[in-house]
Structure 1
Amino acid sequence: MPAKRQEPTSHVHSPAMEDYLEQIHNLIESKGYARVVDIAQNLGISQASVTNMIQKLDAEGYLIYERYRGVVLTEEGRKIGREIARRHEVLTRLLSSFGLDAESVHHDVEGMEHHISRQTLEVLTLLMEELEGNPELLKKLKRKLKNTAAPE
C-alpha cells in the first residue's frame, strides 16, 4: 500500500516550481500522462535536473512520482498548474493580438506569468476579450502603437 501523501508545505512557489507544474499540467492535458523525459525536453534541461525537482515537488505534496511510471499531480499541483497555464494563455493571447513577434511574446510571458496577481490577470483577461470582440478597436490601438514606436 502506498504511503499517505503529504499535504503541500507552503503556498509560496518559486517560478521554477511553477514552470514544472505548468509543464506537467500541459503534458497531462495533451498526452494523458507526463514523463521525466518529456518534461526535460519541453523545458530544455537534463533529465537528472527534472528528476531532482520532481522529487522535491513530490516531497512537498504537489505531485506523486514513481520511477519509471511518470508523474501524477495532486489536487494542489493541478490547481497551480491550471492557474499558471491560464496566466500563460491569457498573456500570450493578449500580446500576440498586437502582432508582437512570437519570440518576444514567449520571453515576456515567461517572466510575467509568475509575477502577476489574480486581480491583474482578471483585468487583462477582460481587456483581451474586449479586444478580440472588437477588431476595430484593436486596429486603432495597433496603429497608435505603430506610431509611438516610429522614430521622431
Structure 2
Amino acid sequence: MGDYKNFHTVRGYEIIEKEKKTLTHSMEDYLEMIYRISLESESVRVNALSEALNVQPPSVTKMVQKLTKLGFVNYVKYGAIFLTEKGEKMGKFLLDRHNIIEKFFRTLGLEKDVLFNIELMEHNITKDALIKIDILNNFFRDNPDIERGFHEYKKSIKNLE
C-alpha cells in the first residue's frame, strides 16, 4: 500500500490551512472587492460594497470593522473605506489570484458557472499551485498553436458531461 501518513480529508486540509491564514474566505472576498472598487473610484462606500457583494449594509459594516482591526483598511463609521498599504498589497494578490484562475478555466473552455467554480477554488489553492497555473496560462498565451491544438483535441474526445 502507498504512504498515507500525509493524507487528509478535504476538511482536514481546510483546517490545516485555516490555522496558517489570517483572513477567512469572506474577509478575502470583501478585501478583493474593496480593491476592485478602489481601482475605479477614489473612495469605497459601504453601500457600493454592499451592492457589489450582494449583502446587506450592516454585514459590510461588521466585516469592514474586522478588516480595520486587522490593519487592512481604514474606516470610520459613515465614512469611506480606504485600503492600507497592507490591504492594497493583499487586495492586489487576491484579485490577481482570481484572474489567474478565471483565465485558466476560460482556457479550458469552462463557460458555465465560471464565477462559482472560481470561488470554490480560489480560497483553497496553494500559492505554489497558483504559480504553476499562471505559468500554464502564460504558456498557452505564448503558444497559440498549442492552445488551438488543445481545443481541437478536446472536441475530438467524448466529454463526461
Q: Which residue of 2 aligns with 1:66?
A: 76
Among 62, 65, 73, the residue aligned to 1:52: 62
How far apart, CA to CA, are the structure 2 residues paired with 1:58 and 1:95?
A: 33
Point out where structure 1 has 5 or more consecutive residues left out of the alignment: 1-9
> With structure 1 as the length reference, what TM-score do the two structures score?
0.84
> Where do 4+ consecutive residues of structure 1 move more than 2 Å?
143-151
How far apart, CA to CA, are the structure 2 residues paired with 1:21 and 1:107?
A: 18
Alignment of 1:3-152 (within 5 A): 11-101=21-111, 103-150=112-159
> With structure 2 as the length reference, what TM-score do the two structures score?
0.80
SS of residue paired to 1:127 = helix
Q: Deviations over 1:70-89 (max 9, x none)?
A: 10112221121111100001
How far did 1:98 drift? 2.9
How far did 1:11 drift? 4.8
Task: Point out which structure has higher relative CO (alpha carbons under 8 A, 6+ apart).
Answer: 1
Point out where structure 2 has 5 or more consecutive residues left out of the alignment: 1-19
The Cα RMSD (Å) is: 1.7
Identity of aligned residues (%): 29
How far apart, CA to CA, are the structure 1 residues paired with 2:159 and 2:93?
A: 36
The one-letter amino acid paired with 2:118 is V
Change (3 A) 1:149 1:33: farther
